[in-house]
Amino acid sequence: MTKPALTLYLAAPRGFCAGVDRAIKIVEMAIAKWGAPVYVRHEIVHNKYVVDGLKALGAVFVEELEDCPDDRPVIFSAHGVPKAVPAEAARREMVYVDATCPLVSKVHIEAERHHENGLQMVMIGHAGHPETIGTMGQLPEGEVLLVETADDVAGLQVRDAEKLAFITQTTLSVDDTAGIVAALQARFPTIVGPHKEDICYATTNRQEAVKAIAPRIDALLVIGAPNSSNSQRLVEVGKSQGCAYSQLVQRAENIDWRALDGIRSVGITAGASAPEVLINEVIDAFRARYDLTVEVVETAQENVEFKVPRVLREPA
């Protein structure tokens, strides 16, 4: 039987970013250096395939430091942790490695600098997300106020309207965040913003690539995990750009083929914690069902690389 023709637009950049790449490398190098098990507080990155692969090597994933023994190394996830966590690890004399993405660490440093200058912080982010918890945990209770939407700005109760600064979670939608920033600046004209946007280059680049393919496609599939903020934002960007069928899938087996019946073009991208092997798996699944033409749409090139901590580069 003749396969129907389909054009697959492959967004570039897509998938792994430098911070995710570094975090995974940190776990692999820690296991190579100290042997298994190595404990990891929270998922190192939000992707089941990646986490399962590291478990097979000897990583043990836990939610809290109290779940770790004193005599085994522990790694903190790429999303960052509150200050109290490394302080407690040091008190227990544990060997620990911080895999926080350097771009998240930059936001932490920014928040501390503003705090030292007597400013109260407003954080634009998602309540309960590990990155938000980690960033808010850099400063004492009450020093960081969280807003999730432009509507939240009206209800903010601040200590001094003249002494405010704002920071953002690194994995947000660029467009949504702009609206919240505008609301903050309208209500608090003297609020201090970041020198350079907090939303990371990888998040921005992946969103721009989706915007480039959206006008050409009947459907968009974003490969990523349900708890991945940057992946969920890519789905939202697809919808906001007019692609009504914009869905998150973890793997090829999660694709709803009936919903795609009759389409002539599909866009594929992946969140920053999704490996290329899963993207290829999805492309192969389309190739099995369609007479496929693959077109790469590249909107930026990425050559960022972050070094792993020195402790892992030194011999055991």
Backbone conformation region of residue 141, classed left if phi is above 0, alpha if psi is from -120 to 50, else beta = beta
173, 311, 176, 273: which is closest to 233 by C-alpha? 173
36, 24, 122, 108: which is closest to 73 by C-alpha? 36
Phi (first) and psi of residue 175, to 5 degrees: -70, -45
Those residues whose C-beta lies under 8 Å from the C-beta of residue 245, and which sit 6 or more positions away, are: 218, 219, 220, 259, 260, 263
**Active-site residue, from 88, 131, 208, 253:** 131
List b or e across 47-76, with b for residues whose CB sees 16 or more CB atoms inside 10 angstroms.
Answer: bebbbebbeeebbbbeeebeebeeeebbbb
Q: Is 131 a catalytic residue?
A: yes
Q: How many CB atoms lie within 10 A of CB 186?
A: 11
Cα–Cα distance for residue pair 135/204, rounded to 1 Å: 20
**One-letter identity of residue 206:** R
Those residues whose C-beta lies under 8 Å from the C-beta of residue 259, and which sit 6 or more positions away, are: 219, 245, 247
Which 3 state secondary structure label does DSSP give 274?
A: coil
- What ranges make up the beta strands (E) of 171-290? 219-223, 245-249, 265-270
How many residues are recorded in the chain? Answer: 316
- Catalytic positions: 131
